[in-house]
Amino acid sequence: MTISIIKRIITVYITLGKTFGSWIGPITSGILIGILRLIVGIGMALDNLFWPSLFKRKLTNPLVIVGNPRSGTTFLHRFLVSNKIAGGAELWQLLYPSLTLQKLIKPLLPVLERISPTRHHSTAAHKTSLQSVETDDASVLFRYLDGFFLYGFILSWADDDIFHWFDPHKRDTSKRDFNWLSAIWNRVLISSKQERIIGKLFSLSANTPKFQSRFPDAKILYMVRDPLSVIPSGLSLVTGVLDKRFGFWSLPDEMRTRYIQRLYKALVELLKRFHDDWINDRIDRDKVMIIPFDRMMNNFEELMTDIMKFIEFESDETLLNSIQETAESQRNFKSKHTYDLEKFGLSSEQIKSDCSFIYNTFLNQQ
């Protein structure tokens, strides 16, 4: 199945107009995105001229953190990057991946931060900004107006449920996306002066076997959190952004209910896809480490010892001190999030039933 970018643009425009009554803003945004795509394309071409090492560089032993939003992926990703265990992309680097452009744009970041859409994100879980290390899934949205971000934030509102547009079993864009990620990651390694990349891709939950085929030496850290926490937290993340931008909770009940049901189904489907590939041996388990969220919060020292062994990284005294300090902080951490499942039209019984496979396989709860 092929869905052209023109069709995606038209569908996004109609969906935003019908849902939020926003007919002019999307046109302006579309023009700016088109200009950005052109500038990025030119910048990427210039990179090959100014950084000829890009031709020779090959990704080796990449690390990738996978898991549903709000399963602890961001915390672990940022910890590993900040301690220089590997290089990771900041949001502005995903938006402007060209090294040539980055040289020009970096001095302007304080100004760009004031008008960045990241201001719509809640900071209760973690700060989000242009200079924050972020999920590489965003780069697919920026470059191709495609991927799970597009479905989650916008196209879940469409009149018809078009999840199949983003289902890799029905429309596989992995070759395009993995090639693009390779191009970005190689540039991050140059700018960060690191030899190894660590990415974060929640979309890989639905396409892990293809990723392992494309990057056979990659190591994957798969985060697992109790669905009773991760599902409402993921819903809160997205609806919180939409509420700040469009007044989500003031929209008609029928529209909100339809949207939440679709997003809930998609979040559960991400869990199902990884689980199905896992239990049916379509995933090379030797290259995957399962990380329970509770273990990260309660026994960070032991977990990091196992992670360092898994990724074959030698810890020094500075890293060990950082691990110890973080472990104390984790044990004393109390989440500011509270969730009313009824607000999302959900119940604990429904989530436990729909996600029973996660409890049985990964959380050892029958």
Over residues 2-32, the pLDDT tens digits come to 999 999 999 999 999 999 988 998 999 899 9
Residue 365 has pLDDT above 70, yes or no: no
- CB-CB neighbours of 180 under 10 Å: 18
pLDDT value at 57 more than 90: no
Angle of helix 174-192 relative to helix 137-144, nearest 10 degrees, comes to: 110
Going from N- to C-terminal start, the domains of the chain cover 5-361
The yes or no reply on domain 5-361 and CATH 3.30.70.1230 is no
> Residues 54-65: what's their mean pLDDT?
90
Look at residue 124 in the predicted model and tell me its pLDDT: 52
**Token pair 């890989």 is at which residue?**
204
Q: What is the pLDDT of residue 112?
A: 86
User: Over the chain, what is the mean pLDDT?
Assistant: 92
Q: 215: exposed, middle or buried (C-beta count within 10 Å: 0-12, 13-18, 19+)? A: buried
Which pLDDT belongs to residue 92?
A: 95
Mean pLDDT of 347-364: 96
C-alpha distance across the termini of the chain, in Å: 39
Q: What is the pLDDT of residues 285-316, one digit of tens each?
A: 999 999 999 999 999 999 999 999 999 999 99
Closest by Cα among 82, 242, 332 to 234: 242
Mean pLDDT check: name the lowest of 34-38, 155-159, 275-279, 333-337. 333-337
Q: What is the pLDDT of residues 175-191, one digit of tens each?
A: 999 999 999 999 999 99
CB 223, CB 71: distance < 8 Å: yes
Give ∠ CA 145-36-26 in degrees, rounded to 5: 55
Checking if the pLDDT of 366 tops 50, the result is no
Report angle CA 184, 148, 207 to the nearest 5 degrees: 75
d(CA 104, CA 99): 9
Residues 6+ apart with CB under 8 A from 212: 218, 220, 283, 284, 287
- Structure tokens given for 258: 């339809």
90 forms bridges with which residues in the sheet? 133
Instruction: Check: CB of residue 346 under 8 Å from CB of residue 265.
Output: no
Question: Do 147 and 99 form a contact (C-beta atoms < 8 A)?
Answer: no
Mind giving me the DSSP string for 32-66? HHHHHHHHHHHHHHHHHHH-THHHH----S-EEEE
Q: What does the pLDDT look like over 99-145, one tens digit per residue? A: 999 999 999 998 888 776 655 455 455 567 899 999 999 999 999 99
Main-chain dihedrals φ then ψ at residue 353, nearest 5 degrees: -70, -45
> What whole-number distance in Å separates Cα of residue 167 and Cα of residue 157?
17
Spell out the residues 6+ positions from residue 246 whose beta carbon is closer than 8 angstroms to its own.
19, 20, 22
Angle CA 345–349–352, to nearest 5:
110
Based on its alpha-carbon atoms, the radius of gyration of the chain, rounded to whole angstroms, reads 20
Average pLDDT (36-63) is 92
Give the pLDDT score at 117: 63
| Euclidean distance between CA atoms 203 and 43, whole angstroms | 27
Q: What is the pLDDT of residue 345?
A: 95
pLDDT at 195: 92
CA distances in angstroms from 313 to 196, 286, 317, 321, listed in the order given: 11, 17, 13, 16
Give percent of the chain above pLDDT 90: 84
Q: What pLDDT is recorded for position 111?
A: 86
Residue closest to 58 by CA, chosen among 210, 173, 185: 185
* Report field, pTM of the whole predicted structure over 0.85: yes
The DSSP annotation for 240-262 comes to HHHHHHH-GGGS-HHHHHHHHHH
Q: 326, 335, 276, 333: which is closest to 303 by C-alpha?
A: 326
